[in-house]
């Protein structure tokens, strides 16, 4: 295997592709957490998105319906979480964990008949440019539309939170729901919206896996990516741009260590497999050391139940 | 245009408590009205109803003879009723400007212009682009006031606004409030501080147990008459005789106390040195957030700082944890009764057992000696006149005053040589405050010492033998309390210097 320049370009392209589900799920969860809601059901919502996307694709043979349907299924399952935590005031952590367990079980049951069915090819954009430009071609072109969306999302999220009125409202609710409520903001409604948005992004992240990244349905195919996304949000100290950096590092080292294993480096395989987790945490901890910034970015009311006085 | 606010037959009943019982009041613009009452008298419930946070079971509110339906804070806003809450309703991690823009309807540019106009008009100086958590309490309050002014309110309600302010800040606030009043804003001022009522307000309504017991002109009232109306009985005056014993032993001595923290919510402490004599009360004044929390935690052993020397009864205790310090006969009463001093979900006797000693035999071979703890708890309840004799009661059902009595009792029943307390009467009503003050004076009379960290200047002047002021983590020189006046304390608490 030669490490020429075009190979590195292809490598970077594949790293980008592998980070997409993490970016999508983490960006969605980031908005949810910024409103003060801790939803540990990311993994469950992703896997539901994966199976419903794949099933809809098989049934309707329409990728657009499949993608939209996966997001809708994420919304529906997060609605359960929203209803329990916001309307019935249940504990966020327990409810989120239950959601994940429920999602994994439900997806396995729904997916029984879809195991072994081959997926459909997902259209890629600018495929001619990919071949014709060395190095930059495979990095910039020849990806699905979902990937372009995923890479724009952290910047959009950042803009939303910092520059728009609605973003300000979300941050205010996460900072102090009681004050927000006394200012006439409908805290429950804002939190519901953030939860549902998070659900939609997790659903899309799941569909990316089953429709684009590895186009097929395998039971438990999210394989812990939801948990990684959750951890990314925390280690990136609720900053969307750092989530992007973290996801790329995680994706990058995952791919690189696979190549290292293939080449036959004399490093124990277990250590190589652990490397992505280790490096992501180390890098994110190092770039987010400013305790002042952490304080300002951390949603103060995260995970706390909000009860409106009557 | 003149404003006329009328409250008619408002009632609000919570399970086991009538918060407002048929309250009727009338206010007219051009005057400042005081709503006076002890904690639990129903003042806060009434203002929450006026600001739409909660809705009454019965009764109506009229603004200029228009019947208002106040179902949410938005309704109050729409009807130009502004409210500054006792516990600020600000978003600590957002900037001042973001806090003000969150419910504005105009664009940021014109909003900024309007805010700057207000800042100029009332001589406020606040940086609009720093996070609110960097502001002092006085500045935070100004942000709240600006938020109300931006909506050109007809009515401005201030809920215990001076509880976190210095003397100077209080004066500034009063000047602003008088200005607002001259401009035709109707001001309702809620407080339990009698002197403020007399110096600021034109008319005063006194509430007790959910009812309005009197409405009168302040010029016809005195501190004593108002206090008696508020409490419903005559209060005994307490006065401490100052301990001027210069040659008594130093029982407690702190040297080189330094504390550095990365946390922007914490204050660094810079080289504090002080000592306490036998039978003496050392008062430490200051506005909250100037390092009192950190100081208390270091003195109690919750935080261990390197290179600090703390000598207590001739032993070095700087490296000991709170439990070990208690064994040496120190006792602590933290500011936050609910989350630091007691566990509200636990029963009274269980809370008592939290403070156990080797000698108290509360636990035998890892098992709880319930009988022993209960006996001990009963003694505390009766010795410190806590308003229950049921040791099985969950602590959260005790009122603030009774919980504080229980905590002090728990700490004092072991006859400690030194009691360190932080805002022991915070949020309590006059009756309970009197009792706590008497208890603290009694400790000194028995030749035991106290360190009183407090944000209440009146309390400090009443109880301390010597007083120092903490400002931004630094301690002023320690002064004998007969040389200290409220004005001097106010200057030092605001960062100024005297002499």
Given a contact cutoff of 8 angstroms between Cβ atoms, the answer to whether A28 and A157 are in contact is no
8 Å CB contact of B265 and A295: yes
Tokens at B61, concatenated: 């509110």
Q: How far is B214 from chain A (nearest CA, A)?
A: 28
Tokens at A151, concatenated: 């890479």
Q: In what order do the strands lie in the sheet with B186-191?
A: B81-84, B155-159, B186-191, B32-37, B203-208, B211-217
Mean pLDDT of B334-338: 83
B276 or A7: which carries more pLDDT confidence? Answer: B276
Question: Tens digits of per-residue pLDDT, A134-158?
Answer: 778 788 888 999 999 999 999 999 9
Q: Which of B14, B93, B132 to mutate to test the interface with A (most CBs of A within 10 A)?
A: B93
Using a CB-CB distance cutoff of 8 angstroms, which residues of chain B are in contact with residue A36? Answer: none
Tokens at B168, concatenated: 């100077």
The rounded distance, in Å, linking the Cα atoms of A49 and A63 is: 13
**pLDDT level of residue B355 (50, 70, 90 thresholds):** confident
Mean pLDDT of A81-99: 95
For residue B53, what is the nearest residue in chain A, using CA coordinates?
A182
ipTM associated with this complex:
0.82
The rounded distance, in Å, linking the Cα atoms of B35 and B215 is: 9
Mean pLDDT of A3-20: 86
8 Å CB contact of A182 and B90: no
> pLDDT averaged over chain B?
87
Mean pLDDT of B278-305: 90
pLDDT at A2 over 60: no
The rounded distance, in Å, linking the Cα atoms of B288 and B467 is: 16
Mean pLDDT of B223-238: 74
pLDDT of residue B1: 67
- Number of residues that this document lists for chain A: 310
Angle of CA points A84, A85, A86, to nearest 5° = 100
A29 or B382: which carries more pLDDT confidence? Answer: A29
Q: Which of A176, A182, A310 to mutate to test the interface with B (most CBs of B within 10 A)?
A: A182
Question: Tens digits of per-residue pLDDT, A265-302?
Answer: 788 888 888 888 888 888 878 877 777 778 888 888 89
Under DSSP, is residue B59 helix (H, G, I), strand (E, B) or coil?
strand
Using a CB-CB distance cutoff of 8 angstroms, which residues of chain B are in contact with residue A180? Answer: 91
pLDDT of residue A199: 97
pLDDT at A133 over 90: no
pLDDT at A81 over 60: yes
pLDDT of residue B244: 61
Choosing among 1.10.3470, 1.20.120, 1.10.10, 3.30.70, the CATH entry for A5-297 is 1.10.3470
8 Å CB contact of A291 and B264: yes
Q: Measuring CA to CA, which residue among B340, B466, B453 is closest to residue B403?
A: B340
Contacts of A184 (CB under 8 A, 6+ apart): B72, B73, B74, B77, B103
Q: Which of A195-199, B15-19, B456-460 has the lowest mean pLDDT?
A: B15-19
**pLDDT level of residue A223 (50, 70, 90 thresholds):** confident
8 Å CB contact of A296 and B54: no
What's the whole-model pTM score?
Answer: 0.74
For residue A179, what is the nearest residue in chain B, using CA coordinates?
B89
pLDDT at B228 over 50: yes
pLDDT of residue B233: 67
Q: What is the separation of C-alpha A253 from the centre of its chain, rounded to a whole number of angstroms?
A: 18
Highest mean pLDDT: which of A92-101, B152-161, B404-413, B456-465? A92-101
N- to C-terminal Cα separation, chain A: 69
**pLDDT level of residue B247 (50, 70, 90 thresholds):** low
Q: What angle do the packed helices A225-235 and A240-263 form, to 10 degrees?
A: 130
Q: How far is B170 from chain A (nearest CA, A)?
A: 24
Given a contact cutoff of 8 angstroms between Cβ atoms, the answer to whether A197 and B113 are in contact is no
Class in CATH terms, B236-329+415-499: alpha beta
**pLDDT level of residue B356 (50, 70, 90 thresholds):** confident
8 Å CB contact of A184 and B74: yes
**Residue ranges covered by each domain of chain A:** 5-297
Q: What angle do the packed helices A225-235 and A187-207 form, to 10 degrees?
A: 130
**pLDDT level of residue A310 (50, 70, 90 thresholds):** low
Percent of chain B whose pLDDT exceeds 70: 96
pLDDT at B358 over 80: no
A163 CB within 8 Å of a chain B CB: no
pLDDT at A88 over 90: yes
Q: Measuring CA to CA, which residue among B493, B335, B295, B339 is closest to residue B426?
A: B335
A266 CB within 8 Å of a chain B CB: no
The rounded distance, in Å, linking the Cα atoms of B372 and B375 is: 5
Mean pLDDT of B420-443: 86
What number of H helices and E strands is found in chain B? 16, 23
Question: Tens digits of per-residue pLDDT, A175-191?
Answer: 999 999 888 899 999 99
Q: How far is A291 from chain B (nearest CA, A)?
A: 6
Using a CB-CB distance cutoff of 8 angstroms, which residues of chain B are in contact with residue A168? Answer: 94, 98, 101-102
Under DSSP, is residue B290 helix (H, G, I), strand (E, B) or coil?
coil
A298 CB within 8 Å of a chain B CB: yes
Given a contact cutoff of 8 angstroms between Cβ atoms, the answer to whether B406 and B351 are in contact is yes
Buried b (16+ CB within 10 A) or exposed e, B272-303: bebebbbbbbbbbbbbbbbbbbbbbbbbbbeb
Question: Tens digits of per-residue pLDDT, B117-145?
Answer: 999 988 888 999 999 988 888 889 999 99
Class in CATH terms, B4-231: alpha beta
Tokens at A6, concatenated: 């075009």
8 Å CB contact of B102 and A183: yes
DSSP alpha helices (H): ranges in B150-251? Answer: 167-182, 194-200, 223-231
pLDDT of residue B236: 63
Q: How far is B55 from chain A (nearest CA, A)?
A: 7
pLDDT of residue A1: 46
> pLDDT averaged over chain A?
90
Strands B17-28 and B281-285: unpaired
CA distances in angstroms from A80 to A174, B37, B201, listed in the order given: 20, 46, 53
Using a CB-CB distance cutoff of 8 angstroms, which residues of chain A are in contact with residue B48? Answer: 309
The rounded distance, in Å, linking the Cα atoms of A98 and A77 is: 12
Contacts of B441 (CB under 8 A, 6+ apart): B238, B240, B463
8 Å CB contact of B102 and A178: no
Q: How far is A161 from chain B (nearest CA, A)?
A: 12
**Residue ranges covered by each domain of chain B:** 4-231, 236-329+415-499, 343-412
């Amino acid at each position: 295997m030669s490490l020429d320049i075009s190979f590195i370009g292809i490598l970077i392209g594949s790293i980008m592709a592998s980070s997409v589900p993490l970016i999508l799920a983490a960006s969605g969860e980031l908005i949810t957490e910024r409103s003060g809601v801790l939803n540990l059901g990311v993994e469950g919502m992703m896997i539901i998105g994966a199976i419903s996307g794949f099933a809809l694709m098989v049934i309707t043979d329409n990728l657009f319906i499949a993608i939209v349907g996966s997001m809708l299924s994420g919304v529906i399952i997060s609605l359960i979480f929203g209803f329990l935590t916001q309307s019935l005031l249940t504990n966020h952590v327990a409810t989120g964990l239950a959601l994940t367990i429920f999602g994994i079980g439900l997806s396995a049951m729904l997916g029984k008949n879809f195991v072994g069915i081959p997926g459909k090819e997902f259209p890629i954009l600018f495929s001619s440019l990919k071949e014709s430009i060395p190095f930059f071609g495979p990095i910039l072109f020849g990806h699905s539309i979902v990937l372009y969306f995923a890479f724009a999302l952290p910047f959009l999220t950042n803009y939303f939170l910092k520059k728009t009125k609605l973003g300000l409202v979300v941050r205010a609710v996460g900072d102090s729901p009681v004050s927000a409520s006394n200012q006439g903001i409908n805290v429950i409604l804002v939190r519901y919206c953030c939860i549902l948005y998070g659900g939609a992004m997790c659903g899309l992240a799941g569909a990316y896996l089953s429709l684009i990244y590895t186009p097929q349905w395998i039971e438990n195919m999210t394989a812990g990516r939801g948990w990684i996304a959750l951890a990314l949000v925390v280690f990136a100290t609720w900053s969307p741009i750092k989530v992007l950096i973290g996801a790329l590092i995680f994706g990058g080292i995952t791919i690189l260590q696979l190549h290292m294993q293939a080449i036959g480096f004399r490093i124990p395989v277990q250590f190589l497999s652990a490397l992505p987790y280790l490096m992501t945490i180390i890098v994110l901890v190092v770039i987010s050391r400013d305790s002042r910034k952490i304080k300002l970015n951390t949603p103060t009311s995260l995970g706390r139940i909000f009860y409106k006085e009557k | 245009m003149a404003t006329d606010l009328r409250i008619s037959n408002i009632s609000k009943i919570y399970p086991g408590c009538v918060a407002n019982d048929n309250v009727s009041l009338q206010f007219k613009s051009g005057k400042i009205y005081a709503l006076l009452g002890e904690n639990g008298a129903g003042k806060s419930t009434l203002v929450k109803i006026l600001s739409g946070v909660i809705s009454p079971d019965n009764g109506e509110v009229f603004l200029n003879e228009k019947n208002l339906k106040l179902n949410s804070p938005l309704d109050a806003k729409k009807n130009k009723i502004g409210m500054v809450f006792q516990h600020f309703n600000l978003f600590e991690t957002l900037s001042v400007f973001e806090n003000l823009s969150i419910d504005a309807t105009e664009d940021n540019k014109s909003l900024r212009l309007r805010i700057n106009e207000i800042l100029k008009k009332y001589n406020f100086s606040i940086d609009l682009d720093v996070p609110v958590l960097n502001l002092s309490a006085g500045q935070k309050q100004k942000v709240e006031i600006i938020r109300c002014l931006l909506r050109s309110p007809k009515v401005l309600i201030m809920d215990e606004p001076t509880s976190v302010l210095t003397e100077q800040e209080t004066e500034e606030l009063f000047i602003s409030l008088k200005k607002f009043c001259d401009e035709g804003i109707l001001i309702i001022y809620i407080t339990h501080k009698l002197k403020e009522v007399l110096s600021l307000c034109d008319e005063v309504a006194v509430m007790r147990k959910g009812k309005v017991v009197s409405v009168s002109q302040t010029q016809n009232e005195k501190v004593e008459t108002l206090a008696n109306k508020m409490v419903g009985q005559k209060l005994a005056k307490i006065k401490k005789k100052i301990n001027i014993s210069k040659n008594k032993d130093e029982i407690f001595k702190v040297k080189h106390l330094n504390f550095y923290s990365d946390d922007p919510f914490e204050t660094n402490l810079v080289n504090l040195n002080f000592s306490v004599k036998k039978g003496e009360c050392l008062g430490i004044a200051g506005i909250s957030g100037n390092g009192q929390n950190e100081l208390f935690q270091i003195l109690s052993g919750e935080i261990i700082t390197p290179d600090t020397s703390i000598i207590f009864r001739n032993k070095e205790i700087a490296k000991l944890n709170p439990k070990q310090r208690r064994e040496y006969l120190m006792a602590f009463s933290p500011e936050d009764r609910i989350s630091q001093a007691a566990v509200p979900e636990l029963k009274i006797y269980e809370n008592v057992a939290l403070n156990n000693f080797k000698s108290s035999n509360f636990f035998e071979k890892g098992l709880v000696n319930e009988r022993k703890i209960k006996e001990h708890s009963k003694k505390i309840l009766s010795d410190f006149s806590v308003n229950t004799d049921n040791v099985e009661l969950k602590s959260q059902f005790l009122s603030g005053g009774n919980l504080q009595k229980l905590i002090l009792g728990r700490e004092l029943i072991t006859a400690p040589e030194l009691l360190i307390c932080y805002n022991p009467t915070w949020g309590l009503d006059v009756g309970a405050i009197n009792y706590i003050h008497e208890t603290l004076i009694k400790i000194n009379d028995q030749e035991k010492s106290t360190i009183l960290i407090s944000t209440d200047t009146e309390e400090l002047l009443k109880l301390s033998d010597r007083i120092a002021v903490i400002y931004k983590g630094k301690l002023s020189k320690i002064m004998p309390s007969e040389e200290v006046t409220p004005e001097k304390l106010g200057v030092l608490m605001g960062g100024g210097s005297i002499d």
